Amino acid sequence: MTTTAAIIVAAGRGLRAGGEIPKQFQPLNGLSVLERTVAAFATHPEIDQLVLVVNPADDDLLAKLDLKDAVLVHGGETRDASVLAGINTATTDNVLIHDGARPLVSARIISNVIKALENHAGAAPALTVTDALWRGEDGHVTAPHPRENLFRAQTPQGFRRSEILDAHAAHSGGATDDVEVALAHGLDVAIITGDEANMKITEPRDFARAEKLLEQDMDIRLGNGYDVHRFCEGDHVVLCGVSVPHSHGLDGHSDADVGMHAVTDAIYGALAMGDIGQHFPPSDPQWKGAASHIFLEHAVKLATDNGFSISNADCTLVCEMPKIGPHSADMRREMARIMGMDMDRVSVKATTSERLGFTGRGEGIASIATVTLVKL
Ligand code: MG
């Protein structure tokens, strides 16, 4: 297996962006620029190591940030020296060298750079130039400039580690980026399609543009949940928080609220954070007979803690009996109350299975649920 490190270069002073602190520490919709950049790589499935090249003067600022599992290394006097410190720290086959001030890099670009390294010594994203180009002097156009074969370079710039290490060792310094260093060493660098959103934050107005892009990039998650409980001796069942008289009860380690369990699992699912069984193991006696709202409240808090709000929840109960219709308004009200939502965003409905299968034979109740989570 080829391994890949992301080397995020964030040792610069970023003076053009204005502000009291370097641009990579300034906030962008609630998180610092650098935290967003780090998170983009930390959550990518093909990144095995995170190396963050920083300025020793920023150690206090860095201590306050959530930098995942990044290995911090101090940069040098120049950009080349900083990158080299990062390459020397990485222990992987490939390295992706990325500008800390490009927080909106997409998973697609990271994947495509890694993929291109299967066949090329280097690969980097770039955009074609669509505007006409001029040369100018003293406020006057002096000549048109052909835009054919011109590209706007972005990062991450990916290389086989040993080759870019040799290239840096052989370079005299002062390169604008690592592709320049690679070319000087004769390495083949493939161009992959970049993204306008993968902008480099350079000037104060760039923050406003990046914030707009983030707002357009609303994080919408769907989750599904499914649960079954069998009937047992009893005189009522608890469904979506409402006690319904019935000829049987439902068997389960908690109150066996099959509807609430499905909705809870749908929330965990949307977050990609496991399921009820993982958070509340049935083997743990403290959850025996526990009211299911404890589970649902936990899932809702997890969603909220991760910046999501629940946009809607839809739960379907599958059984022949008891009749759900007379209780569905109470169920919606109770579910909405527990989740802190408006009732018109919570649906509880029911269907029979035409007397087919275990629900049709009246052996138990099944439930499926879908929820939508939204992060603005
Ligand atoms: Mg259950």
For the residues of 33-54, what is the DSSP string, one character each?
HHHHHHHHHHT-TT--EEEEEE
> pLDDT band at 284, cuts 50/70/90?
confident
SS3 97: strand
- Residue 255 pLDDT: 87
**Euclidean distance between the first and final Cα of the chain, in Å?**
37
How does pLDDT run across 17-62, given as a tens digit for each residue?
Answer: 777 888 999 999 889 999 999 999 998 989 999 999 999 999 999 9
Q: How far apart are CA 347 and CA 342, in angstroms?
A: 11
Whether residue 223 contacts residue 270, with contact meaning beta carbons closer than 8 Å, is answered with: yes
Neighbours of ion ligand 1 (CB under 5 A): 227, 261
Q: How far apart are CA 268 and CA 186, in angstroms?
A: 50
How many whole angstroms from 287 Cα to the centroid of ligand 1?
12
How many whole angstroms from 274 Cα to the centroid of ligand 1?
14
Q: Percentage of the chain surpassing pLDDT 90? A: 85
How many whole angstroms from 220 Cα to the centroid of ligand 1?
26
How does pLDDT run across 223-280, given as a tens digit for each residue?
Answer: 999 999 999 999 999 999 999 999 999 998 788 999 999 999 999 999 999 999 999 9
- Residue 67 pLDDT: 92
How many whole angstroms from 194 Cα to the centroid of ligand 1?
46
C-alpha closest to that of 94 among 51, 154, 52 = 51
- Residue 253 pLDDT: 74
Of the given ranges (228-242, 281-295, 316-330), which has the lowest mean pLDDT? Answer: 281-295
Question: Per-residue pLDDT for 370 more than 90?
Answer: yes
- Residue 375 pLDDT: 87
How does pLDDT run across 162-206, given as a tens digit for each residue?
Answer: 999 999 999 998 999 999 999 999 999 999 999 999 999 999 899
161 CB-near residues (< 8 Å, 6+ apart)? 5, 87, 90, 92, 93, 94, 95
User: Mean pLDDT, to the nearest integer, of 111-122?
Assistant: 96
Q: Where are the beta strands (DSSP E) in 161-318?
A: 189-193, 219-232, 236-239, 242-245, 249-250, 309-318
User: Mean pLDDT, to the nearest integer, of 207-216?
Assistant: 90
Per the prediction, the chain carries an average pLDDT of 94
Question: Per-residue pLDDT for 15 more than 70?
Answer: no
Question: Per-residue pLDDT for 376 more than 80?
Answer: no
- Residue 18 pLDDT: 75
How many whole angstroms from 254 Cα to the centroid of ligand 1?
8
How many whole angstroms from 260 Cα to the centroid of ligand 1?
8
- Residue 115 pLDDT: 95
Q: For 185, which DSSP code?
A: T
Of the given ranges (155-159, 213-217, 313-317), which has the lowest mean pLDDT? Answer: 213-217
Whether residue 4 contacts residue 96, with contact meaning beta carbons closer than 8 Å, is answered with: yes
Q: Percentage of the chain surpassing pLDDT 70? A: 99
- Residue 120 pLDDT: 96
- Residue 264 pLDDT: 98
How does pLDDT run across 131-149, given as a tens digit for each residue?
Answer: 999 999 999 999 999 999 9
User: Mean pLDDT, to the nearest integer, of 149-162?
Assistant: 97
